[in-house]
């Protein structure tokens, strides 16, 4: 158990944390990323200026569970020129213009043929869609539907200067060492190009969170993973199966910079400690967060929660993926996210970490009647002190439910008191010899169930 005072002293959020996260997200935003390639490496280099990232390169063709690491893909340039030679689409203006993993092309063709390779959003005619073609050989471009409608008949010059070749899949990892051999996994996908909320926001937030944890003594190791979606998580799992039994809690972080939600999707287990902690945090202070059950669709939680691993990994977002009109469009830009919402998301995740760190199961050593708190100096000598009354209620709730069957989080939920107040009361009772800590295996029962479907 890590002491409350240590957490309190080192866990306070700096007032400018949202501004710092936003600034880092803005640096990441212009980079053209995909599931492999130089954009991923450049992004990891930027993140590595803030935390001591280890970069891993996994060769093309490597078998990772039922998948194979694909070829590396990079794009240097792309455009469409109309019959007069004017560029009507330019990769330099927005990297969403190129279909992710598009094959190379250099041709002149009539508009009728060109249209079959252009993706638009007729229902959002001023926006550029984000589209990919990772595992099929085709070429394509994306543009605003209204701009497509303005194109006149004629011959168009099309260039996509891209390359697929044998290379590597790249991911980054940072581990903050704690006092135990148990792990918390925090993961964000690094494969999307210029989409601010999905997921420059998650990458920047986790980097700033990892930097903040360096100054903290923690019970758990915190493993930060920055990897391409799906294939990156599968690659990490395939190469780290020896580490899987050590993971007690996990969180996927994405779309954390807008003003929606907050939203949390439970792990496959449904009632793991991270599920309980996030539900508590998302509904504390009147946040009215939405909690949804696990489903095998979404981000990389579906890989970590697959039945062969069944890790307690949930998904935290502000607006849930696919539910906001800016999702996977050029409207998911730096104007869509804000320092205010990034700072609030950071605080919620840090609050959940505080619960993971401070939660334990107390046992009342004087269970017959109430122990005399006054002679131990645990009651304030000043009558009518409101804060003293709240502290006293914390003592009483903890003592009454400290039967070895309730964690501090359980007690906070039952008492409708803040987790911090309950944790503080429990620490004082422990220091005065009124409580003992239940054995580790009796606290949450999660570690022993890892891997069970």
Task: Judge whether 328 is annotated as a binding position.
Answer: yes
Cβ–Cβ < 8 Å for 407, 443: yes
Residues 6+ apart with CB under 8 A from 114: 80, 156, 158
For residue 76, the SS3 value is: strand
Q: Which residues pair with 223 in a beta bridge?
A: 175, 185
Phi-psi region of 322 (alpha: psi -120 to 50; beta: other; left: phi over 0): left
Which is it for strands 72-81 and 67-68: parallel, antiparallel or unpaired? unpaired
Residue ranges in 52-134 assigned as alpha helix (H): 111-115
Cα separation of the two ends of the chain: 29
Task: Judge whether 341 is annotated as a binding position.
Answer: no
**How many degrees, rounded to 5, is the angle at CA 372 between CA 371 and CA 373?**
105
For residue 271, the SS3 value is: coil
- Report how far residue 277's alpha carbon sits from residue 412's, in angstroms, rounded to the nearest whole number: 11
Pull the structure tokens for residue 388: 């003293």
Task: Judge whether 189 is annotated as a binding position.
Answer: no
- Report how far residue 45's alpha carbon sits from residue 39's, in angstroms, rounded to the nearest whole number: 10
Backbone angles phi, psi at 65, to 5 degrees: 55, -125
Q: Which residues pair with 157 in a beta bridge?
A: 81, 108
- Report how far residue 148's alpha carbon sits from residue 348's, in angstroms, rounded to the nearest whole number: 43
For residue 149, the SS3 value is: helix
Cβ–Cβ < 8 Å for 244, 311: yes
Pull the structure tokens for residue 260: 């929606």
- Considering Cα of 275, then 280, then 281, then 286, what sign does the dihedral take? positive
Q: Comparing C-alpha atoms, which of 319, 315, 326 is closest to residue 341? A: 319
Q: Which residues are annotated as a binding site for Zn(2+)?
A: 192, 198, 328
Q: Which residues are annotated as a binding site?
A: 192, 198, 328
């Amino acid at each position: 158990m890590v002491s409350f005072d240590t957490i309190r002293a080192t866990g306070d959020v700096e007032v400018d944390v949202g501004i710092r996260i936003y600034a880092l997200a803005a640096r990441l935003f212009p980079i053209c990323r995909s599931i492999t390639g130089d954009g991923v490496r450049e992004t990891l280099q930027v993140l590595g200026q803030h935390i001591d990232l280890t970069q891993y390169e996994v060769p093309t063709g490597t078998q990772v569970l039922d998948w194979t690491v694909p070829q590396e893909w990079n794009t240097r340039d792309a455009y469409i020129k109309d019959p007069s030679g004017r560029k009507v689409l330019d990769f330099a203006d927005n990297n969403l213009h190129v279909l992710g993993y598009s094959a190379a092309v250099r041709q002149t063709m009539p508009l009728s043929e060109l249209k079959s390779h252009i993706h638009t959003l007729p229902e959002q005619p001023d926006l550029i869609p984000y589209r990919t073609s990772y595992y099929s050989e085709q070429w394509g471009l994306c543009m605003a539907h209204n701009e497509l409608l303005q194109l006149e008949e004629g011959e168009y010059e099309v260039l996509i200067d891209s390359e697929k070749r044998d290379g590597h899949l790249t991911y980054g990892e940072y581990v903050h060492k704690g006092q135990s051999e148990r792990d918390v996994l925090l993961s964000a996908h690094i494969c999307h190009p210029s989409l601010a909320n999905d997921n420059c926001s998650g990458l920047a937030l986790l980097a700033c969170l990892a930097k903040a944890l360096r100054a903290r003594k923690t019970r758990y190791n915190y493993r930060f993973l920055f990897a391409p979606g799906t294939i990156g998580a599968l690659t990490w799992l395939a190469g780290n199966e020896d580490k899987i039994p050590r993971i007690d809690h996990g969180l996927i972080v994405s779309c954390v910079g807008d003003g929606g939600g907050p939203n949390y999707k439970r792990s496959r287990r449904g009632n793991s400690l991270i599920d309980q902690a996030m539900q508590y945090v998302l509904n504390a202070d009147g946040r009215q967060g939405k909690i949804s059950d696990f489903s095998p669709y979404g981000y990389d939680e579906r890989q970590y929660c697959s039945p062969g691993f069944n890790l307690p990994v949930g998904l935290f977002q502000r607006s849930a993926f696919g539910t906001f009109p800016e999702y996977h469009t050029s409207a998911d830009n730096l104007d869509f996210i804000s320092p205010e919402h990034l700072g609030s998301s950071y605080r919620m995740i840090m609050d959940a970490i505080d619960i993971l760190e401070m939660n334990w199961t107390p046992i009342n050593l004087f269970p017959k009647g109430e122990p005399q708190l006054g002679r131990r100096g645990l009651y304030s000598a000043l009558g009518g002190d409101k804060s003293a009354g709240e502290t006293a209620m914390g003592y009483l709730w903890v003592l009454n439910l400290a039967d070895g069957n309730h964690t501090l989080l359980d007690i906070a939920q039952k008492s409708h008191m803040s987790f911090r107040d309950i944790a503080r009361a429990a620490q004082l009772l422990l220091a005065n010899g009124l409580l003992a800590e239940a054995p580790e295996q009796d606290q949450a029962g999660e570690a022993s169930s890892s891997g069970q479907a």
